[in-house]
Structure 1
Amino acid sequence: MAGDWNEVTLGEISDFRAGSVFKPSHQGNADGEIPFIKVSDMNLPENAVRILSANNWVSKAVARDLRAKPLPPGAVVFAKIGEALRQNRLRQVVRDTIVDNNMMGAIPRRDRVDEGFFYYTLSQFDFAEIAQGTALPYLTVSSISNLKLSLPELHEQRAIAHILSSLDNKIELNRRMSATLETMARSHFKAWFVYFAPVRAKAEGHDPGLPPHLASVFPDRLIVTEHGEVPEGWEVKPLSEIAEFLNGLALQKYPATDPADSLPVIKIAELRNGVTAKSDRASRDVPDKYIVRDGDFLFSWSGSLLAKFWTEGDGALNQHLFKVSSDRYPTWFIAEWVQVHLEEFQNIAASKATTMGHIQRGHLNAAMTNCPPNSGLADLGSVISPLVERRIQIDLESRTLAAIRDTLLPKLISGDLRVKDAETYLDRVL
């Protein structure tokens, strides 16, 4: 700890505000002026650090009816009860915001603490450690107010917050770039392989709007099959035929004897939120085909039914997840076909009300794909594949940036690393 820093409690530098009861009549109100944040909003990807969007909004009149006093910009919000408390997610609000009664807001006193420094400081506390209750842990204002921290002068607080927020801002920019690339790739894919827009244009005597080498991939007419219309010369194949869906293992059979030389177990939680300190570990004796590496495409077939390219480093594939691959078709092609059918699969899983929602192999057999000749697929891949590959690289870069941030954060917040040293380090690695 830096010798010239002061030890204070959170109660000395901030005020705490409880949430309000959310009424069912407010559900889905997108016309309001004030976001009403529930615990589920903390999972939205665009809310990684700051609350930028919400599923529910209320008017100022409704806020008055709720007797809710909005949290001001710069306040930090977090869950105060149950499993969400254990997950320890924090977000900073950027506009007047109301939170529900399962959450709490902490408002920094700006004459004492920079709001950015305040957010990063709070992120270092494990609120679950001071929670009361066991089956349903909960936070109290008194317990959180008594937490102690070291506080430098305001100018150094701002410098520390600037370094850390620069990394988070770059990660957020990468997230938006990745989302844009995903949208571009999916738009091309659906236009070409699902809606056959170039074929329909040529059939009507119009220019498909593509370079000649791409336009030539598409015939000028559709033929009718038992699965509907398909471009002449193309094949219709089940999803299960174009890709292998490797189900994961019950990894308790491969316990990690040495945590330092082990693999994180990739479950649905890791697919959604990445590897954390709470992730289970498995021995490296897991058969090689069940080891997941960066760039592999994963698909959870039960529970949430998520599908994404993995970019969190080596891991062990748990049951309820598929690793999707193919010896014949490129990864971008099989991944996009999974995405095309994902909503359908999610609806099938949601219809299984008596069990945990899931799909079966038969659903993969019933999901059809449209496959052009191999030469044409390579030409079309020259457009879509770079978008997918660039997205994977951006996500990998974000992982590196997050690792740098997570290394610097505790050292900067404690004073073990001073600002000039951190700036020198960043100049060297970025």
Structure 2
Amino acid sequence: MNTWQSVKVAELGRIVTGKTPKTAIPENYGGDIPFLTPSDDMSVKYVSKTAKTLTEKGLSEVKNTLLPPDAVCVSCIGSDLGKVVITTEKTVTNQQINSIIVDKDRFDVSFVYYAMLILGKELNFISKTSTAVPIVNKSSFSSYEIQCPSLDQQKRIAAILSALDSKIECNQKINDNLTEQARSIFQSWFVDYEPFGGSKPSDWQPSTLGQIANMKTDSWSPVKNPDVVVEHYSIPSYDEQRFPVFEIASGIKSNKYLLTSDSVMISKLNPDTKRIWRPMCLSGHPVCSTEFIVYESKKKGQRDYIYSLIDSIPFFNHLCSHTTGSTNSRQRATPKSTLDFALCLPSDSVIEDFCEIVTPMYDLIASNVVENQSLAKTRDSLLPRLMSGELDVSDLDL
């Protein structure tokens, strides 16, 4: 650590706190300028897209907060406190995010990103011990200190961690592409009928989801199996990393649904936020939250037709139109009503042909997800050791 020094966040570059243009003026929104908020995907290293964008008019209200590419953005409020991303183009954030426009003559952008990840974890941990909504303002954020080596060592450390993140990002892009391909194929075959001349084949029959799939509610009790390690598909684990949590049953408070390799599922909680899962069943004890609706095809080999069906736009619209609850935060779809979803049922041979195409896609997605978990675990174990100087990288040939 002889070459390392303590540096305040304010010394890393210019600190910018975001600002929101007036939402009452519709003309402020819908342009080409990304508008980053903590509700966007900040689980990745680089911002790929944002839910909201600004027009030039909207930018004119907050022009002093415009960030260049390679700004490091840190969420500084609430449950999202400590999330970090790097901008890839000119971007504006809301006031819940503090950003660093890095002084590249002294600091490496990726090194600063990884330093903020560690700081973010510390801030998030502190926030969980407070009953009030945690907020880190610009002044407090700027005063935090991190340890920094020389610029050359910063680049070496960042290169090691970035190699892992690049592979994770590559796998995720492949998965996003495969997902869109599978959706497009389903749309082409079963909505637009493109392989069949653009019209529904005469031998396809009116049917419902309930006629071709069973809703599974086989219950599993953690109280009766306290020592079992389960592969738990929960709402939080979906939202955080799209990967099940492996945990001891004694720490689980409520009953779960049993899953099999034939299961597919979709969340009934707040269905306008789509949470659809094709469980990987990596262990002998896969279970899921009862907030999911679990289906299994009545015919063997048609799992991925059912999965693609519940992932389709028509089914999503049906799900969202059959809800209970008066507030957006606690709306639930009615499971039984999903079985009434109407469809035109193709022949078994058509479904089999479809599954022959999409099942390898879904299997590769699952394989990439598992690999990404392993890569992330490696990165997370290296991160504190590299960023503290415990692992010396000065002699590495990078």
Residue 52 of structure 1: which of 44, 48, 66 is its match?
Answer: 48
Residue 402 of structure 1: which of 368, 376, 379 is its match?
Answer: 376
2:138 maps to: 141
Residue 269 of structure 1: which of 236, 246, 258 is its match?
Answer: 236
Q: Deviations over 1:123-149 (max 9, x none)?
A: 012223455963221103343334333
1:347 maps to: 320
Query: Counterpart of 1:366 in 2: which secondary structure?
Result: coil
When normalised by structure 2's length, the TM-score is 0.82
Kept in 2: contact 1:50–1:93 (CA 8 A): yes
Q: What is the CA distance between 1:334 and its match in structure 2?
A: 0.8
Q: What is the CA distance between 1:59 and its match in structure 2?
A: 4.4
When normalised by structure 1's length, the TM-score is 0.76
Aligned-partner Cα distance in 1 for 2:396–2:293:
41
1:94 maps to: 88
Aligned-partner Cα distance in 2 for 1:287–1:176:
35
Query: Counterpart of 2:359 in 1: which secondary structure?
Result: helix
Considering only aligned residues, what root-mean-square deviation do their CA atoms show, in Å? Answer: 3.7
Query: Counterpart of 1:183 in 2: which secondary structure?
Result: helix
Instruction: Assess, with a 3 A threshold, how the Cα gap between structure 1 residues 332 and 268 changes in structure 2: closer, same or farther.
Output: same
2:293 maps to: 322
Instruction: Assess, with a 3 A threshold, how the Cα gap between structure 1 residues 420 and 231 changes in structure 2: closer, same or farther.
Output: farther
Instruction: Assess, with a 3 A threshold, how the Cα gap between structure 1 residues 292 and 277 changes in structure 2: closer, same or farther.
Output: closer
Residue 101 of structure 2: which of 94, 100, 107 is its match?
Answer: 107
Q: What is the CA distance between 1:200 and its match in structure 2?
A: 3.1
Kept in 2: contact 1:298–1:308 (CA 8 A): yes
Q: What is the CA distance between 1:237 and its match in structure 2?
A: 3.0
Query: Counterpart of 1:51 in 2: which secondary structure?
Result: coil
Map 1:112-261 onto structure 2 (within 5 A): 112-125=106-119, 126-129=122-125, 134-200=131-197, 231-247=201-217, 253=223
- Paired AA for residue 294 in structure 2: K
2:364 maps to: 390
Kept in 2: contact 1:178–1:394 (CA 8 A): yes
Map 1:14-33 onto structure 2 (within 5 A): 14-24=13-23, 25-26=25-26, 29-32=29-32
1:307 maps to: 276
Q: What is the CA distance between 1:6 and its match in structure 2?
A: 2.3
Q: Percent identity?
A: 23
Aligned-partner Cα distance in 2 for 1:339–1:105:
36
Q: What is the CA distance between 1:165 and its match in structure 2?
A: 1.6
Query: Structure 1 residue 337 and structure 2 residue 334: aligned?
Result: no
- Paired AA for residue 140 in structure 2: S
1:212 maps to: none
Q: What is the CA distance between 1:382 and its match in structure 2?
A: 2.0
Query: Counterpart of 2:266 in 1: which secondary structure?
Result: strand
Aligned-partner Cα distance in 2 for 1:98–1:398:
29
Query: Counterpart of 2:35 in 1: which secondary structure?
Result: strand
Query: Counterpart of 2:147 in 1: which secondary structure?
Result: strand
Aligned-partner Cα distance in 2 for 1:56–1:288:
38
Q: Deviations over 1:260-308 (max 9, x none)?
A: x744643222222227999986349999994558895331112234213
- Paired AA for residue 319 in structure 1: T
Q: What is the CA distance between 1:153 and its match in structure 2?
A: 1.4
| Unpaired stretches in structure 1, ≥5 consecutive residues | 202-221, 223-229, 425-430
What is the total number of aligned residue pairs between the two structures? Answer: 387
Instruction: Assess, with a 3 A threshold, how the Cα gap between structure 1 residues 247 and 64 changes in structure 2: closer, same or farther.
Output: same
Aligned-partner Cα distance in 2 for 1:233–1:334:
20
